Structures are given as C-alpha cells and as structure tokens.
C-alpha cells in the first residue's frame, strides 16, 4: 500500500469532502479486515481524487478497477449533454497522470459506460464499490445493479450526490434500491453508504470514528434500518482558514466573548 495524505488528495481537482475522506479511511481497512480482503472499484473517476485514496488501501492480490467515459462520445444525447456541461476538460490522460504521480502504477482503467465494468471486473469479489458516474436516473439504476453484482454479500457501496438538488435521478435510484434490499447505514452531506448484507460491522466502525471526532451526528430509522447521519460542525468560513491560524482565531474569539 502507498500512504496517501489528505494534502495530496486536496491537490487533485475534483469534489471529495473532508467527512467522506475520513469515512473512506474508516471503511476501506475495515472491509479488508472483516471480509478477509476483496477487490475495489470506482465508477466515474474524474481526475482521480477519490481513486487515489481507494488505491492506497489495496492489499496484495486485490485489484482496483476504475471506469469512466473520459470525454468519449456516448451516443446518448442526454448523457452526452451531461458530460459536456459538467466535465468538458476531462480526459483519460488527466486521470492517469494524477494517479501515477502518487502510486506509480495504474489500476485497471476502462474507458466505457460505467455499467460496462461488469464485463471487466470479477463478480462477487469486491468489498468496496464507489459510484460517482452519471447522474441520470436510468444510468444510476444500472450502476447500482452492477455494484450489487460486483460486491461480496456484505460489501459496501458508496453512492455520490444522492441528495443534491441538481441530481434528482440519483436520489430516486438510491431510495428505490432500498425496496430491493439495499440497507443504508451512513449518510454524509454528499454520499450514501450502504450494503445489501449485514451493516452491523460497518456501523460499529463508524460509531468508533465519530465518538473520537468533533463532527455532529444523529441516528434515524429509515425503512426499519438505523442510519447514521453526519455533518460538519466547522463553520463554513473556517474551511478557508489555514489550520495554523485557527488557535490564534479561537483565542481572539474567546477574548471578544469575555470582553
């Protein structure tokens, strides 16, 4: 395994929040231990921000497979419009350059529709699958079905953009999947973490993590499943302040309150 720092992840263009980086760091080693290893996969990679982190948890004998259109012609008007509007500058070269700069060796890279990963990655062998590809309802439904095909019975699937206002297709596909046995166990502002198997070990790992941090969280029941919802207690403006400056700012704030 190659150690990847949060600073290295932050330097790669893309969207991958602090809470989700932490959740990945909890669940990737936990799935390796609890499921006795297993392959990893990512559907939709952009420039590699999350793939680089996933790849850092590869163990001997495991395979990471990633798939993306990388700007290729989709042959589908709606899908082509989505790619042109949201990822106009994405190329396979961009992804491979970012990934190799950290890991040296590329994962298995497929340039195709996300659902085509089932033709390249082994079925029933994966412990962790991250879906961050198309936001169109019919495509997300297929991606979720493919993730189930790839995963071990208790493997973890992570679905990006399940609640954003501009991605209603993802939300519809995510909640619909629950009627087919998908069990969400963690909700962050951007991602849903779920399994078709037993979520107990994953919830225990998440509990341990949250009890040692400062993020806010609560428990809700959704369709008889206990789900942990987590959010950041960090004020939005603090996200743009260098960590080294935070102690001084806290001291000044305390003086202001006591004056």
Query: How confident is the model at residue 258, as a pLDDT?
Result: 45
- Its sign, for the CA torsion 231, 237, 241, 247, is negative
pLDDT at 102 over 70: yes
For residue 224, tell me if it sits in a domain. yes
Residue 46 near residue 70, CB atoms below 8 Å: no
pLDDT of residue 85: 47
Q: Is the model's pLDDT at 22 over the cut of 90?
A: yes
pLDDT at 71: 85
Is residue 183 pLDDT above 80, yes or no?
yes
Q: Name the least confident of 24-28, 69-73, 197-201.
A: 69-73
Q: Is residue 148 part of a domain?
A: yes
Instruction: Give the rounded percent of residues in the chain with a pLDDT score beyond 90.
Output: 78
pLDDT band at 77 (very low <50, low <70, confident <90, very high): very low
Q: How many residues does the chain have?
A: 259
The whole-number average pLDDT for the span 105-117 is: 97
Of residues 47, 39, 97, the one with CA closest to residue 68: 47
Mean pLDDT in residue range 114-137: 97
Tell me, yes or no, whether 1 lies in a domain.
no
User: Could you tell me the pTM of the whole model?
Assistant: 0.85
Q: Which two tokens stand for residue 156?
A: 């973890």
C-alpha distance from residue 173 to each of 150, 170, 178 (Å): 18, 5, 9
Give me the phi and psi of 51, to 5 degrees please: -60, -40
Q: Give one DSSP letter per residue of 182-234, joined into a string.
A: -EEEEE-SSEEEEESS--HHHHHHHHHHHHTS--EEEEEEETTEEEEEEE--S
Domain annotation covers residue 203: yes
Q: If you average pLDDT over residues 165-193, what whole number do you get?
A: 96
Element (DSSP H or E) covering residue 39: strand 39-43
Residues whose CB is less than 8 angstroms from the CB of residue 141 and which lie 6 or more positions away in sequence, other chains included: 173, 176, 177
Please tell me the distance from the alpha carbon of residue 215 to that of residue 232, in angstroms, as a whole number.
5
- Number of C-beta neighbours around residue 166 at 10 A: 9
Among residues 44, 14, 9, 13, which one has the least CA distance to residue 24? 9
> What is the sign, positive or negative, of the torsion defined by CA atoms of 19, 22, 28, 29?
negative
83 has pLDDT over 60: no
Q: If DSSP codes are grouped into helix, strand and coil, which group holds residue 106?
A: coil
Residue 129 sits in a domain whose CATH number is: 3.40.50.150
Alpha-carbon gap, residue 135 to 144, rounded angstroms: 12
Q: Give pLDDT, residue 189.
A: 96
Grouping H, G, I as helix, E, B as strand and the rest as coil, residue 236 is: helix
Say how many domains are in the chain: 1
pLDDT of residue 16: 96
Residue 244: inside a domain:
yes
Q: Is the pLDDT of residue 243 over 80?
A: no
DSSP 161: T
31: domain range? 6-258
* pLDDT over 90 at 19, yes or no: yes
In which band, very low, low, confident or very high, does the pLDDT at 255 lie, cut at 50, 70 and 90? Answer: low
In a domain, 67, yes or no: yes
């Amino acid at each position: 395994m190659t150690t990847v720092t949060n600073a290295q992840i932050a330097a790669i263009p893309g969207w991958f929040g602090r809470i989700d980086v932490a959740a990945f760091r909890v669940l990737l080693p936990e799935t390796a231990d609890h499921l006795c290893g297993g392959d990893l996969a990512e559907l939709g990679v952009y420039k590699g921000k999350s793939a680089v982190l996933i790849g850092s948890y590869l163990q001997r004998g495991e395979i990471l497979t990633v798939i993306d259109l990388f700007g290729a012609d989709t042959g589908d008007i709606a899908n082509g419009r989505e790619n042109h509007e949201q990822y106009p500058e994405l190329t396979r070269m961009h992804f491979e350059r970012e990934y190799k700069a950290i890991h040296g060796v590329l994962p298995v890279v497929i340039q195709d529709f996300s659902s085509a990963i089932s033709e390249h990655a082994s079925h029933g062998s994966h412990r962790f699958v991250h879906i961050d590809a198309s936001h169109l309802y019919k495509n997300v439904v297929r991606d979720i079905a493919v993730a189930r095909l790839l995963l071990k019975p208790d493997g973890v699937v992570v679905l990006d953009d399940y609640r954003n206002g501009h991605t209603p297709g993802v939300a519809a596909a995510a909640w619909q999947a629950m009627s087919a046995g998908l069990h969400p166990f963690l909700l962050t502002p951007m991602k849903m973490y779920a399994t078709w198997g037993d979520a107990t070990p994953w919830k225990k790992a998440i509990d341990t993590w949250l009890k040692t941090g400062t993020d806010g969280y609560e428990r809700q029941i959704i369709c008889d499943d206990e789900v942990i919802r987590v959010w950041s207690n960090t004020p939005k403006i603090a996200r743009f302040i260098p960590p080294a400056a935070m102690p001084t700012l806290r001291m000044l704030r305390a003086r202001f309150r006591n004056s």
